[in-house]
Structure 1
Amino acid sequence: MTTVFVSAGQIPIRWSTAMAKRRNLRAAPSTGRRQTRAENPTQENKFDEVHASDRRLLLIFFAFFVVIPAVSVCLYRFKFAPEADRSDPIEHGQKQGGRFKVDMNYQEILEENSEVSLNASRRNYAYPVLAYVTPWNSKGYDVAKKYTKKFTHISPVWYDLKSQGSGLVLDGRHNADTGWMSELRQNGDALVIPRIVLEAVPQELLKSKKLRSKAIDIIVTECMEMEFDGIVLESWSRWAAYGILHDPDMRNKALQFVKQLGDTLHSVSSAENNNRPLQLVYVIGPPVSEKPQMHDFGPQDLQRLSGAVDGFSLMTYDFSSPQNPGPNAPLKWIKFALQQLLGPPENAQNLAPKIYLGLNFYGNDFSISGGSSGGAIIGRDYLALLEKHRPKLQWEENSAEHFFLYVDDDGKRRAVFYPTLSSISARLEEALAWGTGVSIWEIGQGLDRFYDLL
């Protein structure tokens, strides 16, 4: 660990470069509005030896703003040695010295976001780009049509596969918009692969060969009838929440199911995509500790499924929560996740292109005056806060994120972490360095200028 001194008042803060702080694992899965993010496995046990120091940091975080608000400009300033510079793969946006500015102000964000993009049809990023679209955010459908050529995969969040009596039922076709899909295909060649959340009771599904085959048959049939190009499957976080991944036999059955699904999809051709095999993208959470846990999806799992899975959507976001305010997705944490998952460089070369590094196009607005209020905000909320409070944006080196502070109408101090061109660019550079794809949760929430970077 490194001892860092905040300049105003020189308050010592013990901070681990591992940045270990996360939520407790849920006892059972929920069906909340933002399912992908809500079900992300815990980071609680990432580095056990620093839990005490993290709690001290959080207490200092609160006291610091209540007692000495004037020194807030110095919060989250950490003195890490700069890393070797890489060439910037992005050629657009507000830059300073060849890089995106970190000393930006709120006026620049408001002005740039209102600019019309001149680069809706050219891809800057060479690896796969998966974009999630949700039924509760209609703007995402419009963004997908406008920037179709920016994406290689578009995943509408439409389906849940559930237990029903002794059988299974696929819920969500009422969300499917075939007219919108047709427009996407006229605009570009992005694959349409809707997300399916596997909500079926895992103890019943995985133990029954008949039910496993039935689930696969339901999924493949839906793809054929609705003319999809494949699916995104989310199940690992739910299996972890049920606790079944601690049982070696059940864990093995879980991996077998995913492999069988991928192999079956690959055996079927997509009439809408030049008769190419249907694809499977599988959602995984980031590793939660230096020493892999049974419920982690790790390097061996990646190797085992690599032949049956076309991409792995890695949920590298939601690092912080209202109970533990802070950055959305610290860059050093992202690097750790990639290192843990991809292992040695020789593995990275072969498997990295199948990792779709998660990018959050949303932010968080946390209370820092005590309590645990706050949560996700989207682009329009962020712009409204900038217009109302005209805050000073601050760049936090360790996480490579901008944040700002303000006082709400109830007199409570709050901290807002929201992506900027600088932070998105830094994550794209990291993905490019590894040779990974990216997955965006969720388009239509972020500022318009973000799409210029892709």
Structure 2
Amino acid sequence: MLWEYPVPQCADLLLCEEKQLERRVLEEIKPAPGQEVNRVEEMEGPLAPEVGLHCDTPTMRTLLSTLWLALACSSVHTTLSKSDAKKAASKTLLEKTQFSEKPVQDRGLVVTDLRAEDVVLEHRSYCSAKARERHFAGDVLGYVTPWNSHGYNVAKVFGSKFTHISPVWLQLKRRGREMFEVTGLHDVDQGWMRAVRKQAKGLRVVPRLLFEDWTHEDFRNVLDSEDEIEELGKTVVQVAKSQHLDGFVVEVWSQLLSQKHLGLIHMLTHLAEALHQARLLAILVIPPAVTPGTDQLGMFTHKEFEQLAPVLDGFSLMTYDYPTAQQPGPNAPLSWVRACVQVLDPKSKWRSKILLGLNLYGMDYAASRDAREPVIGARYIQMLKDHRPRIMWDSQAAEHFFEYKKPHHVLQKPRWEAHGLLPNSEVCAGAAGAGPGAGRRSVHVGAGPGPGLLLRPALGLAASGCVLS
């Protein structure tokens, strides 16, 4: 706050006014002769005795001190110049705090020519009346991630827009011969699951199940033994039943790297059969079919897809995190995303089972060193407030990005809804109120501020009219 005159001068002026006020008040409240009464007995009403009509001198001084403070505050506010107030107001971007009567599409917010002011203004204002409406015919799987717990609230509000929710809770560990344990059960929130299912009828809760701390020896022993595989299936089914789950999103393919894929297909087939017998779902996380930055096939290709597609309920395709810290750039270039789908299923036989990974976060790169860090909703909005950057559109990659000085950084994030790939844009709008070194920074921006739910809408291309068709 700026002052137009020195503080000591202001204090002297206020002290003089205090003395004059004290004399006037003391004269007015002085009782007439013979009218003194007991102060406590007189004040039997709602007011406290120390603030009665006949206060003693210490109390009066306390009251006057309070009046002096009030007078001081009043005087201070009048010293802020109009020009200073305008400058302060110009640095603060406005934010809507109320719901909107229209969805973002009808408000003209799904555009490629973004402005930082518009994003900040609208990021909290979603259409509550449309919060439960679905615009996509295929399956939509949302991950609730530990690095952005706001996704738990997003799932409650927008649960009806999803068919599956996958909290990142559980790990599968091998403890010995035919001995398996599912850890992370302390994170399972039964109350949250009941609340989400109540809001979204038919929603399936399928936590991610990560094969954690498995050695090469563990994989070899399990994949070569039918008894081990059978015991693994029993353990997983028992946990699903006891915890009231609808199945699992299994993450194991990347852990094995390029070894024993034939045995892994055999194990996954048996695991899916065990889950299906218990009326549970089996979804597999798979790496991109085209290695990022190259034209080489990835670890999971059309060959493996054709073998597992008939037995699994879905494939969570990791079409994001394309660049590296050494080669910053788009998070998920559209041409690469399209290639990953086409390589897996060139004849569109099983595309309804491909859950396309759409990252709703950005990546912040420092130009002066090989470093990058993810940017989720709250930080993304704060960056726009602090730097008010010019947001640019990369038409080739189909992503937004902007540069800002910290001193030189770039942020990149894909804008999926601008290409018809994100059917439920209101999720992004409601989620944000929930995305050093020398030189500038680069930020690659994405599909809204990012709710902590990684959307993977299934490619039901004939029904959705998705651009990847």
Query: TM over 0.5, yes or no?
Result: yes
Describe the shift of the 1:292–1:214 C-alpha distance in structure 2 as closer, same or farther (beyond 3 A): farther
Is 1:304 matched up with 2:307? yes
Instruction: Tell me the distance in 2 between the aligned counterparts of 1:159 and 1:104.
Output: 39
* Alignment of structure 1 residues 203-352 onto 2, 5 Å: 203-240=220-257, 243-244=258-259, 250-268=260-278, 277-288=279-290, 293=297, 296-344=299-347, 348=348, 350-352=349-351
The correspondence for 1:182, drawn from 194, 214, 219, is: 194
Q: With the length of structure 2 as denominator, give the TM-score of the two structures.
A: 0.65
Shift in CA distance, 288/206, structure 1 to aligned 2, threshold 3 Å: same
| 1:383 counterpart residue number | 381
The 1:169/1:450 distance shift into structure 2, 3 A limit, reads closer
Query: Which of 410, 429, 437 is the matching residue for 1:415?
Result: 410
Given that residues 284 and 297 in structure 1 are in contact (C-alpha distance below 8 angstroms), is that contact kept between their aligned partners in structure 2? yes
Provide the residue aligned with 1:196 in structure 2.
209
1:192 positional shift: 0.5
* Structure 2: distance between partners of 1:320 and 1:279: 32
Contact 1:117 1:449 in 2 (8 A): no
Rounded Cα–Cα distance in structure 1 between residues aligned with 2:137 and 2:305 = 22
Post-superposition shift, 1:134?
2.3
Q: Tell me the distance in 2 between the aligned counterparts of 1:254 and 1:448.
A: 34
2:105 pairs with 1:106 = no
Q: Partner of 1:424 in structure 2?
A: 417
For the structure 1 residues 109 and 91, does the alpha-carbon distance in structure 2 shift closer, same or farther, using more than 3 Å as the test? Answer: closer
Q: Which gives a bigger RCO, structure 1 or 2 (Cα 8 Å, sep 6+)?
A: 1
Counterparts of 2:104 and 2:405 in 1: how far apart (Å)? 36
Spell out, residue by residue over 1:95-116, the C-alpha distance to the aligned partner (whole angstroms, 9 max, x if none): 38xxx32122101111110213
The residue that corresponds to 2:88 in the other structure is none
CA gap of 1:448–1:297, structure 2 versus 1, over 3 A, is: closer
Question: In the TM superposition, what is the alpha-carbon distance from 1:130 to its structure 2 partner?
Answer: 0.1
CA distance in 2, matches of 1:219, 1:194: 12
The alignment partner of 1:282 has SS state of strand
Superimposed CA distance per residue, residues 280-316 of structure 1 (whole angstroms, 9 cap, x where no aligned partner): 11100111358765x6211222221122111100000
Partner Cα separation in structure 2 for residue 197 and residue 419 of structure 1: 27
Structure 2 CA distance for partners of 1:198 and 1:282, relative to 1, 3 Å: same
SS in 2 for 1:418: strand
Alignment partner, residue 404 of structure 2? 406
Q: 1:264 offset after TM fit, Å?
A: 1.3
Aligned equivalent of 1:128, options 122, 127, 139: 139
**Cα gap change, 1:184/1:449 in structure 2, threshold over 3 Å: closer, same or farther?**
closer
In the TM superposition, residue 450 of structure 1 has moved relative to its aligned partner by: 11
Structure 2, gaps ≥5 residues long: 1-102, 425-430, 436-447, 458-469
Question: 1:283–1:314: 8 Å Cα contact kept in structure 2?
Answer: yes
Q: 1:396 aligns with which of 384, 394, 399?
A: 394
Identity of aligned residues (%): 33
Question: How far is the alpha carbon of 1:163 from its aligned partner?
Answer: 2.3
AA of the residue aligned to 1:447: P
Ranges in structure 1 where 5+ consecutive residues have no aligned partner: 1-89, 245-249, 269-276, 433-441
Question: Residue by residue, what CA displacement relative to the aligned partner does 1:99-157 show, whole Å, maximum 9, x if unpaired?
Answer: x3212210111111021333211001111100001234321111111111010000011
**Map of 1:29-40 to 2, 5 A cutoff?**
none
Give the aligned residue type for 1:265: L
Pairwise mapping of residues 94-173 of structure 1 onto structure 2 (< 5 A)? 94-95=107-108, 100-118=110-128, 119-166=130-177, 167-173=179-185
Residue 93 of structure 1 and its aligned partner are, at CA, apart by 5.2
Read off the aligned partner of 1:282 and give its amino acid letter. L
Question: How far off its partner does 1:395 sit?
Answer: 0.3
Query: Is 1:361 aligned to residue 378 of structure 2?
Result: no
DSSP-derived class of the 1:366 partner: strand
Aligned Cα root-mean-square deviation (Å): 2.6
Does structure 2 conserve the Cα–Cα contact (< 8 Å) formed by 1:212 and 1:257?
Answer: yes
Q: Is the 8 A contact 1:154 1:194 kept in 2?
A: yes
**3-state SS in 2 of match to 1:121:** coil
> Per the alignment, do residues 159 and 373 of structure 1 end up closer, same or farther by CA in structure 2, a change over 3 Å counting?
same
Distance in 2, matches of 1:372 and 1:299, equals 34
| Residue identity matched to 1:388 | D
Question: Which runs of structure 1 show a deviation greater than 6 angstroms over 4 or more consecutive aligned residues?
Answer: 442-445, 448-451
Partner amino acid, structure 2, of 1:115? S
Matched-pair contact (CA < 8 Å) for 1:195–1:234? yes
- Taking the TM superposition and a 5 Å limit, the aligned residue runs for 1:64-75 are none
- Write out per-residue CA displacement over residues 372-430 of structure 1, whole angstroms, 9 at most, x where no aligned residue: 1221111111111100001001000111000000111xx3x11001344xx3332617x
Report the Cα distance in structure 2 between the residues aligned to 1:339 and 1:448, rounded to whole angstroms: 27
Give TM-score, length-normalised by structure 1.
0.67
Output the CA distance in 2 between the equivalents of 1:187 and 1:142: 12
Q: Deviations over 1:230-261 (max 9, x none)?
A: 11000111111xx41xxxxx221100111111
Q: For residue 170 of structure 1, report the CA deviation from its aligned partner.
A: 1.2
Distance in 1, Cα, partners of 2:236 & 2:274: 10
> Is contact 2:398–2:414 with CA below 8 Å preserved after alignment?
no
Partner of 2:67: none
Change (3 A) 1:449 1:208: closer
Shift in Å, 1:329:
0.6
Asked if the contact 1:322/1:374 (under 8 Å) is kept, the reply is yes
